[in-house]
Structure 1
């Protein structure tokens, strides 16, 4: 992966980040069986150089039923967002990941991870990219239909941001029904 990391750092589209001393934030291993694909690192992740090192990460760990040590130390887990750099802030939260980023780098990274069995698609950006026309009309309906996607190796979930607490309150079925199914799949692939 070191050669891919260097290629990402040297790519002209990342010059702005490289000049600021930012490094691409993702982890992947040949042994990876599960990949978590979120939007992009947040400010805290950019500072700590660790994916999901903020309040969203704590919620995600609860949803997936893993400790920090299990989540970050297992080579069976890859953390590969749609963009490897914090995209900046917009009017209503973080800016979206750059549109061409995942299509350029994900195939290169995943070609080195032949054992991936499950891609957990965190949020609408990852779901739209990977599921494309198979997405339902909304994130809510896509997540509700998770069983359809599991057969294809995908598991859609909402973004665990505290900004989504209202969504979670309106959709109690997610934590009641979907989270246990997600935890069961994760245990299966981490054995």
Structure 2
């Protein structure tokens, strides 16, 4: 059993997650002491929670393309760690999924990050992760934050790959033409670093 396995078991056993355990959910958090790229995302979707596989949906396919990695690379914990803002599917909202639970990241992220000493690049997927790890005064919009992605290394903010962001991507073609190739290069560099 790895340190990350023990960490997942601790999260699953915590009283705040009794509801998830009763539904048969396991915390969807992945990593190892050798992970080079860290994905900090919103929370698992319904399909991912049901399968027990992070980003097991069209959003995941799009994210892997943006990162420039194969399925094999993406699901290799020695290469990529996935630490959402909440490790459980939060349920439905009026539009899309409900937000991650308040306080979850503050409680569990520091412990998860201690287990990831080899991380070279942290990809912040969506506004929840960006607000937590890239606070700014005055507050920037998601578009402004993502537009300046290359200036915040080792953090790299991107829009969420959900179909709900299709309109944003159409209004901001620079994301696919400029930001995605830069992200591909940085991921390759992080994965090949000694």
Shared fold, TM over 0.5:
yes
Say yes or no: does 1:16 pair with 2:19.
Answer: yes
| CA distance in structure 2 between the aligned counterparts of 1:134 and 1:13, rounded to whole angstroms | 32
Give the distance between the partners of 2:31 and 2:170, measured in 1 at CA: 33
2:190 aligned with 1:177:
no
- After superposition, the C-alpha distances for 1:85-136 in whole angstroms (9 at most, x for unaligned) are 0000010110000111111111111111111111100000000011122685
In structure 2, distance between residues paired with 1:71 and 1:181: 18
Q: Is 1:32 aligned with 2:25? A: no
Q: How far off is 1:4 after superposition?
A: 1.4
**Alignment correspondent of 2:119:** 116
**Alignment match of 2:74 (pick from 53, 71, 76):** 71
Work out whether 1:94 is the aligned partner of 2:101: no
Alignment RMSD, CA only?
1.2
Structure 1 length-normalised TM: 0.95
Shift of residue 7 of structure 1? 1.3
Which segments of 5 or more consecutive residues in structure 2 lack a partner in the other structure?
Answer: none
Mapped partners of 1:3, 1:167: distance in 2: 39
Contact 1:128 1:135 in 2 (8 A): no
TM-score (ref. length: structure 2): 0.94
Distance 1:53 1:76 in 2: 18
Separation (CA, whole Å) in 1 of partners of 2:137 and 2:20: 33
Alignment match, 2:45: 42
1:125 paired residue number: 128
**Residue ranges of structure 1 left out of the alignment (5+ in a row):** none
